[in-house]
Amino acid sequence: MIIFVDGEKNEIEENSTVIDLVKNLNLTTPEKAIGVKINNVLSDFNILLKENDKIIFISFDEKQGKDIFWHSSAHILAQAVKRLFPEAKPTIGPSIENGFYYDFANLNINDNDLKKIEKEAKKIISENLKPIRKEYKNKKEALKEFSNNEFKCEMINEFENGIISSYIQGEFIDLCRGPHLSSLSKIKAFKLTKTSGAYWRADAKNQMLTRIYGISFPSKEMLSEYMTLLEESKKRDHKILGQKLELFSLKEEAPGMPFIYPKGIFIWDKLIDLLRSFLKKANYIEIKTPQIMTKELWEKSGHWFHYKENMYITEVEKREFAIKPMNCPGCMIYYKSNVHSYREFPLKIAEIGHVHRFEPSGALNGLFRVRSFHQDDAHVFMKPNQIKDAILEAIDIADKIYQTFGLTYKLELSTRPEKSKTIGTDEEWENATHGLKEALDDWGHNYKINEGDGAFYGPKIDIHIKDALGRYWQCGTIQLDMSLPEKFDLTYVDSDGAHKRPVMIHRALLGSIERFFGILIEHFGGNFPLWISPRAIRLIPVADRHVDFANKIKDEIDKLDLPCDIDDTNESVGKKIRNAQLLKVNYMLTIGDKEVENNTINLRTRDNIVHGEIKLNNFLEKVSLEKKEKTLISPFRSSAN
């Protein structure tokens, strides 16, 4: 029997399963194969293979691999809880960005209980159970299986037509679509990290549940590295630094909707200015579309049918409206407001749009996962032969932005999902994918292909940036959209006078600006480069008689448009310096009798290096150039990181 593994032809025996194939190819370690896609569908390892099946193995390093690994771990957590607390009722247990959690009703625990649960979970792993999938003929059969758990029954009743399945491991059974690990022994390190409360379905009107968080890995070394990284991450936690540095806050009055403070707005404006400078050079035009638009618009775009549960909906004069979760439909309306010619192409339309999306309370995470955020969206309309150049330009802008902050990145190309679940012709998909691939080939950087992971409306390129701790964050995306131009009947007049459908690229480079802001806080640990620092320079007069000279220096620094303040409090000089260091001030300029007499300043950088007496003009020249060139390293040899 012939099958294709990562595009290569392989011959295997009849009635072979994925497990047989894994053993034959020596892919038994998690680094090589945690999950599998069969004909672009995630599947379990005990599936029988058929002639001409296309097989793609997924490792733990990939997002889908981690999802399978961590969701399987969530089931282990639930099984451990049920063994120790039989009255507890499991509700949901998804994988999240770093690990997993599970919510339980009828469960009250403390830190000592957490240790016991972790011990029991490790015991379950040592039993080397093999999760078995069970499918139900109908809802009635599934409801009977979970009749003692009203939370599971509520979910079952809401399922649309389709297969309902569960997974069994030992005595434990849980409602789940899967897939799961073929064997729990693949989990070599398992740790529970914390507990919290969470409302069922994130609704305060519902029952309060107990949430348990955890993390797991294929090796103890990976857990050790993760815990070390976690400790370093705590020092850079943007939620803590955001409060200490007076950048932003999150309040109960608006869950998941950040309050950005004046020091944060300073950084925000610098980000937007940087972005707009690149857009201007690339001949983008910018628009602003309404926050609230009618139900009919969202029906036309498809969001009402596929995204309604994540939208904020209101009624005005007996008519339904929705706060926009995405900027795209507004741009489609703008495009249709005029007749367009091929001579305008590529037509590049940007919008830094404010969007709102409902996220469950348990998923909210500082600026990284919010309900209210801004996206640096753009929609580029073009002819098919312009795809490659448009993609290259978008990547080039992203590259320049990321380089400005010392961020490296990796690229991933996601191709067409299962044909029946996509729109567009084979030719359109082939042309679109070829355009993206050709652009990536020309760009000359390594990139990864994620077969079948594209959107239903087109292939896409995702950009994952790497921060100072080596963590990757998915920020930029470049998507070829064949859906919205069709749904909104967008056309242009070609050179032959015919009305044709434009090709449209949807791209965001910072992604969520709030999220990018949070990433920068952690990347720099609050030690921002001078050009983006909201506290660039602090003048520290030794005594009251030195304040007048400090004000004169401030006037000179103000001409450079650099944030500068004077600490003229009655504190000691040492205390003033410590306060400035805690606030991550780039440069502290101490002024005493000698400095007034010599027209100098006594310089200390935030890495606590004393540079001593320096001519004022020399200092001003260097920081002026540092700001202009957006350098990451101080000319006074102080690390900006």
Using one digit for the tens of pLDDT, what is the confidence trace for 219-245? 999 999 999 988 888 899 999 999 999
pLDDT: which is higher, 560 or 363: 560
Residue pair 556/620 in contact (Cβ under 8 Å)? The answer is yes
* Active-site entry in 460, 538, 604, 606: 460
How far is Cα 260 from Cα 244, in angstroms, rounded to an integer?
A: 13
Write down the pLDDT at residue 30: 61
At residue 22 the predicted structure's pLDDT band, cuts being 50, 70 and 90, is confident
List, for residues 62-100, the tens digit of each pLDDT value. Answer: 889 999 999 999 999 999 999 999 999 999 999 998 899
From 303, 437, 506, 604, active-site residue = 506
Q: What is the mean pLDDT of residues 401-418?
A: 92
pLDDT at 430: 86
pLDDT digits 0-9 by tens, 298-338: 999 888 887 888 999 999 999 999 999 999 999 999 999 99
Q: What are phi and psi of 604, to 5 degrees?
A: -130, 130
CA dihedral 630, 631, 634, 635 (to 10 degrees): -100
Q: Is residue 518 over pLDDT 60?
A: yes
Q: What is the mean pLDDT of the chain?
A: 92
Q: CA of 159: how far to CAs of 164, 479, 491, in Å?
A: 8, 30, 38
Residue 457 confidence (pLDDT): 77
Q: Could you report the per-residue pLDDT of 378-392, keeping only the tens digit for each? A: 999 999 889 999 999
CA 98 to chain centre: 12
pTM for this model (two decimals):
0.77
Token pair listed for 393: 């330009």
Handedness of CA 474, 475, 480, 486 (dihedral sign): positive
Q: State residue 175 phi and psi, 5-degree precision.
A: -65, 125
How far is residue 63 from each of residues 60, 95, 303, 377, 380, measured CA to CA in Å?
A: 7, 10, 25, 24, 29
* pLDDT for the residue 29: 67
Residue 28 has pLDDT above 50, yes or no: yes
Where does the chain hold its CATH 3.40.50.800 domain(s)?
530-629
User: Measured between alpha carbons, how far is 421 from 455 in angstroms, rounded to an integer?
Assistant: 9
CB 332 within 8 A of CB 484: yes
Would you call 328 a catalytic residue per the annotation?
yes
| Span between the terminal Cα atoms of the chain, in Å | 57
User: Left (φ > 0), alpha (ψ -120 to 50) or beta: where does 366 sit?
Assistant: left
Fold annotation for 248-288+325-524: BirA Bifunctional Protein; domain 2 (3.30.930)
- Mean pLDDT throughout 485-493? 94
pLDDT, tens digit (0-9, with 9 covering 90-100), for 580-625: 999 999 999 999 999 999 999 999 999 889 999 999 999 999 999 9
Domain 63-223: top CATH class: alpha beta
Residue 631, number of CB atoms within 10 A of its CB: 14
Answer with the residue of higher pLDDT: 214 or 19: 214
Task: Name the catalytic one among 263, 324, 348, 379.
Answer: 379
pLDDT greater at residue 5 or residue 330: 330
CATH entry 3.30.70.141 includes domain 2-58? no
What Rg value do the Cα atoms of the chain yield, rounded? 28
Examine the residue annotation and report whether 544 is marked as an active-site residue of this protein.
no
DSSP label at 639? B
Report DSSP letters for 118-181, one per residue. Answer: HHHHHHHHHTT---EEEEESSHHHHHHHTTT-HHHHHHHHH--SS-EEEEEETTEEEE------
Q: Can you identify the CATH homologous superfamily of domain 530-629? A: Anticodon-binding domain (3.40.50.800)
Q: How far apart are CA 636 and CA 328, in angstroms?
A: 46
User: Is the pLDDT score of 641 beyond 60?
Assistant: no
Q: How far apart are CA 287 and CA 271, in angstroms?
A: 18
- Kindly tell me if the per-residue pLDDT of 638 is higher than 80: no
Structure tokens at 437: 């691939």
Which pair of structure tokens corresponds to residue 303?
């969001």
Residue 377 known to be catalytic: yes
For residue 640, pLDDT over 70 is answered with no
To the query of whether residue 79 is one of the catalytic residues in this protein, the response is: no
pLDDT of 479 > 50? The answer is yes
3-state secondary structure (DSSP) of residue 233: helix
What is d(CA 57, CA 63) in angstroms, rounded to the nearest whole number?
13
Estimate to the nearest angstrom the gap between the alpha carbon of 552 and the chain centroid.
Answer: 45
Token pair recorded at residue 296: 């009919």
DSSP state of 617: H
Q: Are 478 and 391 in contact (CB under 8 A)?
A: yes
Q: Which of 153, 176, 328, 331 is flagged as catalytic?
A: 328
- Report d(CA 17, CA 1) in Å as an integer: 12
Residue type, 20: D
Task: Tell me, yes or no, if 375 is annotated catalytic.
Answer: yes
pLDDT for 344 beyond 80: yes
Sheet holding 164-169, edge to edge: 132-136, 164-169, 172-175
> Among residues 37, 186, 357, 437, which one is catalytic?
357
Domain with CATH 3.10.20.30 in the chain: 2-58
What span, in angstroms and rounded, lies between the C-alpha atoms of 352 and 327? 9
Range from 74-88, 118-132, 438-452, 484-498 carrying the lowest mean pLDDT: 438-452
From 79, 169, 375, 479, the catalytic residue: 375
Asked if 105 and 207 count as a contact pair (C-beta separation under 8 A), the reply is yes
| Residue 639 confidence (pLDDT) | 43
Residues of the chain with CATH 3.30.930.10: 248-288+325-524
Q: What is the spatial distance between Cα 16 and Cα 22, in angstroms, rounded to a whole number?
A: 10
Asked if 56 and 68 touch (Cβ cutoff 8 Å), the reply is no
What is the spatial distance between Cα 156 and Cα 149, in angstroms, rounded to a whole number? 11
Which listed residue (53, 113, 174, 377) is catalytic? Answer: 377
- Is residue 474 annotated as part of the catalytic site, yes or no? no
* Structure-token pair, residue 199: 């409302």
Specify whether 75 is catalytic. no
Of the candidates 336, 338, 333, 351, the one whose C-alpha atom is nearest the C-alpha of residue 297 is 333
Cis peptide preceding 635, ω within 30 of 0: no
Condensed to tens digits (0 to 9), the pLDDT of residues 158-196 reads 987 788 999 999 999 999 999 999 999 999 999 999 999
Q: Give helix 547-558 / helix 616-629 axis angle, nearest 10°.
A: 30
pLDDT digits over 436-455, tens only?
999 999 998 899 888 888 87
